[in-house]
Amino acid sequence: METDSTHRAFGGTQGIYTHDSEETGTQMRFSVFVPDHDEGAKLPVVWYLSGLTCTHANVTDKGEFRRTCAELGLIFVAPDTSPRGDNVPDEEAYDFGQGAGFYVDATEEPWARNFRMRSYIETELPALIAKEFPVADMERQSITGHSMGGHGALTIALRNPDRFRSVSAFAPIVSPLNCPWGHKALTGYLGTDRSTWRAYDACALIEDGARISGILVDQGEADNFLDEQLKPHLLGEACAKADIPLTLTLRTGYDHSYYFISTFMDAHLRWHAQRLG
């Protein structure tokens, strides 16, 4: 792991780091905020997964999380959304290829070699974070994300209920099986057998028996992707049938941007902190 930069902020250290990933076969960059802490102390972690077109930098620059994380003693980890580089396959599209990894392990060519974001986020990067930072045990972590990253947070938490104490999302893609973004991404990365898509669809995972103690979702009512791509009512229906507590709040006047995310970031972090103990 190489340190690209560090900065003091709100009684903590914001760092940007790079490492060579075995899963993606590329260099990967991520950011970590570590609050000041007593020597030898181990801190809980909140993971944040970003959306389409984003990198670690979007939330790091605009998420407004550091003051609350410093107060609550939370490490905040923000990975990239996909592998990148001249030798990595790409398309001239914002919703597929580089910047749009969808947190899957691709099985279709030419994507299968590099686009292994599920294994990278679930296995490789957590091991690196645990080695290099003062992290509490792997069962004392939480995860959140925005849009495509909200999809990633929900599906990762549902597949790993013993790893995550809590999960939340900002304007998540709740069912890639039922939206154009999902159809394009999952067909391209996984092929046409829709049964293989279910491991990457929060509503399908719940229908298939996945359970978690509760979910927090904020959604802007003025979000221009709300009706066609996000469809939070589908998550509401799935959670109701499975008796999973869901706090879903529609925020009047808010859109899909970081103005929306930064407004409710503090509330999400405090919600996670209560469950992390």
Which of 147, 166, 168, 175 is catalytic? The answer is 147
What's the pLDDT tens digit per position in 36-58?
999 999 999 999 999 999 999 99
Q: What are phi and psi of 130, to 5 degrees?
A: -65, -30
Which is it for the CA torsion 193, 199, 201, 207, positive or negative?
Answer: positive
Residue-level pLDDT at 139: 79
Of the pLDDT bands very low, low, confident and very high (cuts 50, 70, 90), residue 138 is confident
What's the pLDDT tens digit per position in 171-212?
999 999 999 999 999 999 999 999 999 999 999 999 999 999
Residues constituting the chain: 277
What's the pLDDT tens digit per position in 251-275?
999 999 999 999 999 999 999 999 9
Residue 140 has pLDDT above 90, yes or no: no
List the chain domain ranges.
2-276
Residue 277 has pLDDT above 90, yes or no: no
Of the pLDDT bands very low, low, confident and very high (cuts 50, 70, 90), residue 25 is very high
Residue-level pLDDT at 136: 87
Q: Which two tokens stand for residue 258?
A: 């970081």
Q: Is 253 exposed, middle or buried (0-12, 13-18, 19+ CB in 10 A)?
A: exposed
Using an 8 Å Cβ cutoff, are 47 and 141 in contact? yes
Q: Is 147 a catalytic residue?
A: yes
Q: Is 7 a catalytic residue?
A: no
- Which of residues 227 and 140 earns the better pLDDT score? 227
Which of 56, 146, 256, 272 is catalytic? The answer is 256
User: What CATH code is assigned to 2-276?
Assistant: 3.40.50.1820
Q: Is 166 a catalytic residue?
A: no
Residue 137 has pLDDT above 90, yes or no: no
Of the pLDDT bands very low, low, confident and very high (cuts 50, 70, 90), residue 164 is very high
Q: Which two tokens stand for residue 48?
A: 């944040």
* Region 220-242 average pLDDT: 98
What's the pLDDT tens digit per position in 51-89?
999 999 999 999 999 999 999 999 999 999 999 999 999
Of the pLDDT bands very low, low, confident and very high (cuts 50, 70, 90), residue 221 is very high
Rounded Cα gap, residues 277 and 142, in angstroms: 11
H or E element, residue 182: helix 180-190
Residue-level pLDDT at 157: 98
